[in-house]
Amino acid sequence: MYRVDITLPPKEGRDENADILEIKTTVAGFTDIKVLFSFKELGNSVVILVLRVDKACSWPQLTSFLAGKGYEVKVTPMYYCSDFARELGLNMTRDFYDTSLPDDEDLIIGKQIIPVKDMTTTQYDAMLKTMFEKEMSIVNAGQRAACFRTLASLPVEMIYFAPVRQKKMSAISDTMNAKGYNDFELLRIEKLDHYTGGCE
């Protein structure tokens, strides 16, 4: 699985709305590439896709299309947080986190980098396990979220997509920072399914 960030650079005469809708429809039509999530950053010309590439030979469909358009592209390999939690010894099913998000709520993307600091591997894994246990209780209490871990080894980087009301955004950020997870970033996003763009 991959997170693909596509930035549309400023260009005279660019129809951002048409470009974004073309990205959406073109990628949806690729063979052996499944779009798990598709978003646009609010206020920025950035499309965020989460893709599952079933066959490596399918990848050039995407890279050729994006390169031909002149977009700036960043690709991050990822896998499910639930798989990572199981590696740490937790009993978490793969479908514990959401595979879809509600249509009628504000959405955010959260990126959390968990620093190693002076911890041993055992201490670091124990801290991650405790973090997941707290997260499980939050999700079980009704908070929805999709969660992925980037493939890089250390420090651990987690990516969340979640519905959240405006008041909760600062509370989530404060909570994460208070726990010492001091590299936490929140951005507002909208589903590409509902993106219409244009002037109103």
Phi, psi of 169 (to 5 degrees): -60, -50
| Residue 169 pLDDT | 52
**Tell me: the pLDDT tens digits for 59-108?**
999 999 998 888 999 999 999 999 999 999 999 988 898 888 877 778 88
CATH 3.40.190.180, applies to 2-78 = no
Task: Give the rounded distance of the alpha carbon of 50 from its chain centre.
Answer: 7
| Residue 197 pLDDT | 60
| Residue 94 pLDDT | 84
Report the C-alpha gap between 66 and 33 in whole angstroms.
Answer: 15
Helix (H, G, I), strand (E, B) or coil at 15: coil
**Tell me: the pLDDT tens digits for 162-181?**
887 655 555 555 555 545 55
| Residue 39 pLDDT | 94
Instruction: Check whether 200 has a pLDDT greater than 70.
Output: no
Report the C-alpha gap between 61 and 32 in whole angstroms.
Answer: 10
| Residue 173 pLDDT | 53
Structure tokens at 65: 């299309």
Phi, psi of 142 (to 5 degrees): 120, -10
Which contacts of 22-29 are long-range, i.e. CB under 8 A and separated by 24 or more positions? 23/47, 24/192, 24/195, 26/65, 27/51, 27/62, 27/65
Which residue ranges does the chain devote to CATH 3.30.70.1060? 2-78
**Tell me: the pLDDT tens digits for 39-68?**
999 989 999 999 999 988 889 999 999 988
**Mean pLDDT across the chain:** 85
Select from 153, 99, 147 the least CA-distant residue to 121: 153
* CATH class of residue range 81-191: alpha beta
